[in-house]
Amino acid sequence: MAERRSGNRLAALDGLRLLAALTVVFYHYVALARPWGHATDTIFPTAHRAAQYGWLGVEVFFLISGFVICMSVWGRTLGEFAVSRVSRLFPAYWAGILLTVAVVKTWPEVTSIRGWNAVITNLTMLQGGNNTPNVDPVHWTLFVELKFYLIVAVVVLFGVTYRNCLILCGVWTAAAALAPVLKTPLLTAFAMPQYAPFFIAGIAFYLMRRHRPNAVLWAIVILQLLLAQRYIPYRLATSVGKAAAEALPTWPARVIIIAAFALVGAIALGACDRIQWKWLTTAGALTYPLYLIHLNIGMTLIHHFRNRIPAPVLVTSVTALMLVTAWFIHRLIERPLGKWLRDTMRGGIDDVRRHVTPRRRHARRAAPPTPTAPHAAEGSHAAEDGHAPPPARTYESA
């Protein structure tokens, strides 16, 4: 099957990623009562209505993640995939944790951190798996992403191919559909029924990008779009509260999800390839640190200055400050520390390979010779008729 490759960075995807992050920021700063001390419908009578759907930026993140991770893992070994994820996620995350702790400990106005055990566990990014509170509530999405990476890692072990990605989409769809009925905790935890449609659709969109769209891929996308509608009332209730959710219509959320699918589909099909504005690349780089630091720090600042600065000016100023802080984290911490982590982990993988590969070779040399079949001596070797087994694969360094 012919492959379609684009040499240009998908700047439009970076722009969509920043838009999703700003939507989440808008939701936290305008829709939630906690930083203001009371409901915000009187502070932002019009903006409040739109902000109540800003939590959907998370779903858009997951849709983009399915696309991007499938793209980034193609042709990589498991070691390379691990190196890319660790070096990408942890530097900004560690900076966000420490900065959030410093601000909250200094001004415990909207939240507090008691003891250091939770902070230390949060540094592993695995707190979601052992019932440890997040230092910042937005970090719950990172554990969802980690489970997605583990699922992708299984595919990497079998080989990232068009066929295997389709099998993943099918098996994951079935697991996510059955999980609520089977009520098996382990299956539910990894099938992630609420979020699986977005990851799976992102994978299908990337397959369209890499190869070409066809009926099978469109069927997967449409199915995921339909399945994504199932949990809108649940997500609305968990985001704005059950009482508020019952009074809100669900159609705006459905329209936003359809629009997100349409935008990522347009990017996958090349409709946005001409968009190559350089600032979008920078915007994409700021998205992750912005998401990590905006909630508790931003809410603390809003709460502290809410009676001194007009609300629209305060929200705009805090958002701008978070963007500037995200830029500093990206330039001063994420880039240099990420490079150090990549180099260090690659060196460690090379060291493992040097110790493991000679043993494998020695084992192969020590193996007794395989008796030659009578017909093989007559020139009917498997290699000659095209059925020779592939050479043994050794672990390659990232």
Report the pLDDT value the prediction gives residue 358, as an integer from 0 to 100. Answer: 60
Placement of tokens 């069927």 in the chain: 219
Report the pLDDT value the prediction gives residue 354, as an integer from 0 to 100. Answer: 85
Q: Are 156 and 85 contacting, i.e. CB atoms less than 8 angstroms apart?
A: no
34, with CB counted inside 10 A (0-12, 13-18, 19+), is middle
Helices 278-305 and 11-26 sit at what angle, rounded to 10 degrees? 10
Taking the C-alpha atoms of residue 311 and residue 302, their distance in angstroms, rounded to an integer, is 9
Report the pLDDT value the prediction gives residue 369, as an integer from 0 to 100. Answer: 52
Q: Are 27 and 55 contacting, i.e. CB atoms less than 8 angstroms apart?
A: yes
Q: How far is CA 40 from the centre of its chain?
A: 30
Could you tell me the two tokens for 177?
A: 């559909």
- Tell me which DSSP letter residue 397 carries: P
Report the pLDDT value the prediction gives residue 195, as an integer from 0 to 100. Answer: 98
Taking the C-alpha atoms of residue 52 and residue 238, their distance in angstroms, rounded to an integer, is 12
For the beta carbon of residue 188, count every other beta carbon within 10 angstroms.
Answer: 17
Q: What is the mean pLDDT of each run of 10 residues along the chain (398 residues)?
A: 54 95 98 95 95 97 97 94 96 98 95 90 94 95 97 96 98 96 94 97 97 97 97 94 92 97 97 91 94 98 97 98 98 97 93 73 50 37 34 34
Report the pLDDT value the prediction gives residue 374, as an integer from 0 to 100. Answer: 38
CA torsion, points 258, 213, 3, 68, in degrees to nearest 10?
20
Longest Cα–Cα distance in the chain: 93
Report the pLDDT value the prediction gives residue 386, as an integer from 0 to 100. Answer: 35
117, with CB counted inside 10 A (0-12, 13-18, 19+), is exposed
Taking the C-alpha atoms of residue 292 and residue 285, their distance in angstroms, rounded to an integer, is 13
For residue 37, give the nearest of 268, 307, 250 by alpha carbon.
Answer: 307
Report the pLDDT value the prediction gives residue 70, as an integer from 0 to 100. Answer: 97
Taking the C-alpha atoms of residue 128 and residue 148, their distance in angstroms, rounded to an integer, is 14
Report the pLDDT value the prediction gives residue 398, as an integer from 0 to 100. Answer: 34
Q: Are 224 and 200 contacting, i.e. CB atoms less than 8 angstroms apart?
A: yes
Report the pLDDT value the prediction gives residue 380, as an integer from 0 to 100. Answer: 33
Tell me the whole-structure pTM to 2 decimals: 0.87
Report the pLDDT value the prediction gives residue 311, as an integer from 0 to 100. Answer: 97
